[in-house]
A and B are shown apart, each in its own frame.
Chain A
Amino acid sequence: MSENLPALLIVVPLILAPVAALVGRRDLSWAVAAAACWWAFGAALALLRRVQAEGVIRYELGGWAPPIGIEYRVDLASAFVALIVATIGAVTVVYARTSIAQEITEDRAPLFYAAYILCLTGLMGIAITGDVFNVFVFLEISSLSAYALIALGHDRRALTAAYQYLIMGSVGATFIVIGIGLMYVMTGTLNMVDLAERLPAVADNRTIPVAFAFLTVGVTLKLALFPLHLWLPNAYTYAPSAVTAFMASTATKVSVYLLLRFFFTVFGFDFAWVGMELHRVLMPLSVVAILAMSLVAIYQTNVKRLLAFSSVAQIGYMMLGISFGSVLGVTAGILHLFNHALMKGALFMAMGCVMYRVGSVSTDRMAGLGKAMPWTMAAFVLAGLSLIGVPLTVGFVSKWYLVQAALEQGQWAVAGVVMVGSLMALVYIWKVVEVAYFGEPDPDHELREAPLGLLVPTWILVIASFWFGIDATTTAEVATAAAETLLRGLP
């Protein structure tokens, strides 16, 4: 059993997805989804433990040896990312029970849960596979189910948002396939480890930089790096609350992981940074993402949209850390991956609570909510503090490493950008806080606190975002070790 853990992590949810669709009743299908998510959570946790104890796990699917068969290759970075996805998935599925009951009709709920499990499976698959074409397959599994999930939103604009995401996502995925094909034609392998061994020999050939370029553009489209982020704000704004919370904390994060995997493991630091001088592209784009997207966020009146733009800015932080190409920088990137998942998940969940009771997350409808929904808004404020980067929150830990990485390379201006970004986060978070606590509530609407089914998952993430901010040694050590493994290239 534990021998086959990497495969079971994927296979069990994959089997449960059609089951959830077929059982036909909302509660039953929820139970199936919850079982799948919690299984994934337990398995991912066990997997991380094992990687920490024994080192890299290599699993040959179906017993076929790597060059022909597909190999799952779980190292610290992949186990960590899989755990993030599974954790958020497990918390969100609890949240979804109440939130989906209101947003989606009874007959569609089983389909929703099936798509949800598929999306989770695809994302975890990307994290643990060691085969580049398999990456594409999992990417499409998660993306296709994500399009469906987003299209389930109440507003009709959810449909156009999903369509837009589908077009851009498919283009991104196709770019990735082209890149993979070009790599294959030069090396004759699809296995990441083999690729890494054979690529240096043919790196002078023009095909490899072209493959690199296609992959970079394809993945950055998926992870919504500015200026390829256009699909994201609408998709996050109009998707059902639970979907937004889940996608915001996982989908783009896994794409960031994929980028790390391609840049460091497959191509290697020497090719990507020294040869292609990737940081010359990534760093300016990240800086612009942080500043421009935070600025755009400040002017939003729809809070979900505001948070979506903030997400694009936060992805800028992760990419900034990675673009340093140093252990500290990549550590900061990986840490922020985890930390941002916690706080953005909490923020979107809090907005889901507001959506549940108020029916809108527009700032002009949120006046006086601090009194009517004290727990929801307190969660929003606390998670917001984390986004700003107040000490003892996870956001601070990310910033601590990011600024260190910048100072280490003498990039004073970039360190300044990180700080300016936090202050802009203060402005857009506080804008909501002021409305909620200083505005006069609408006397016609009697508002109550959100139900426990929504509050408990929200607060789990809020508490986690403090817990891992107060005791960040564990996450920091895992992230540092993962960064070191990535930068060292292959074992």
Chain B
Amino acid sequence: MSGMLGMVNYWAVIVLMMVGFYTLIARGNLVKKLIGLNIFQTAVIMMYVSFGKITGATAPILIQSGDHGGGGAEHVVYSNPIPHVLMLTAIVVGVATLSVGLSLVVRINEAYGTVDEDEINRKDNGL
């Protein structure tokens, strides 16, 4: 049971991922699709952040021994910084994807007068 609870953030990742993926597939509105995609990507970011977290560990900022007067700083456990750093990149990529996607939707709206997928298909096939 504790295993299940201990992995609560992974459960959240899975739920978010599925919510995002479902939205992406099931929605006809192009903006909502993008929102789904974004939730999907965010779930992955959460997954990475969870990877890096070590129970009881502190933020990966170097604590120099003796600075704070007290002893015991030599045995500080840091969280793994690498996944977090990677996610900085992934967030940037996610933002870029979202902005490209949204600008495409704007252009689609200008060209078709709608952002609904079925509507767009109808207009294309009616040409």
Contact = CB atoms under 8 A, between A and B. Distances in A.
A235 to B, nearest CB: 12
| Tier of interface size on chain B | 20 to 34
A166 B24 contact: no
Contact of B112 (A147, A151, A156): A156
Nearest to A150: B104
Interface string A184-202: 1100001000000000000
A471 to B, nearest CB: 43
Interface of A: 68, 133, 136-137, 140, 144, 147-148, 151, 156-157, 159-160, 162-163, 166-167, 170-171, 173-174, 177-178, 181, 184-185, 190
B93 A137 contact: yes
A171 B97 contact: no
Contacts of A156: 108, 111-112
16 contacts: A144-B93, A144-B100, A151-B107, A156-B108, A157-B124, A159-B111, A160-B124, A166-B100, A167-B24, A174-B40, A174-B41, A174-B44, A181-B44, A181-B83, A184-B82, A190-B86
A170 B37 contact: yes
Given A147-B100, A167-B33, A170-B37, A159 B44 contact: no
A166 B93 CA distance: 13
A163 B97 CA distance: 11
A461 to B, nearest CB: 30
Contacts of B83: 181, 184
Give the one of A163, A184, A185 with max B CB within 10 A.
Answer: A163
A160 to B, nearest CB: 6
Given A171-B24, A177-B90, A163 B40 contact: no
Given A160-B120, A174-B44, A144 B90 contact: no
A211 to B, nearest CB: 12
B51 A167 contact: no
Contact of B104 (A133, A137, A147, A174): A147
Give the one of B86, B97, B104 with max A CB within 10 A.
Answer: B104
Interface in B30-76: 30, 33-34, 37, 40-41, 44, 47-48, 51
Contact of A159 (B33, B47, B96, B108): B108
Given A144-B96, A160-B120, A181-B44, A167 B111 contact: no
Which 3 pairs show the lowest CB-CB distances between chains A and B?
A: A156-B111, A140-B93, A159-B108
Contacts of A68: 82
Given A162-B104, A170-B97, A178 B47 contact: yes
A163 B117 CA distance: 11
A163 B104 contact: yes
A171 B23 CA distance: 13
B89 interface: yes
B105 interface: yes
A140 B82 CA distance: 20
Give the one of B48, B100, B108 with max A CB within 10 A.
Answer: B100
A133 B37 contact: no
Nearest to A143: B97
A140 B96 contact: yes
A159 B104 contact: yes
B19 to A, nearest CB: 14
Contacts of A159: 104, 107-108, 111
Given A137-B89, A163-B30, A171 B40 contact: yes
A445 B11 CA distance: 65
A170 B30 CA distance: 14
Contacts of B41: 170, 174
A183 to B, nearest CB: 11
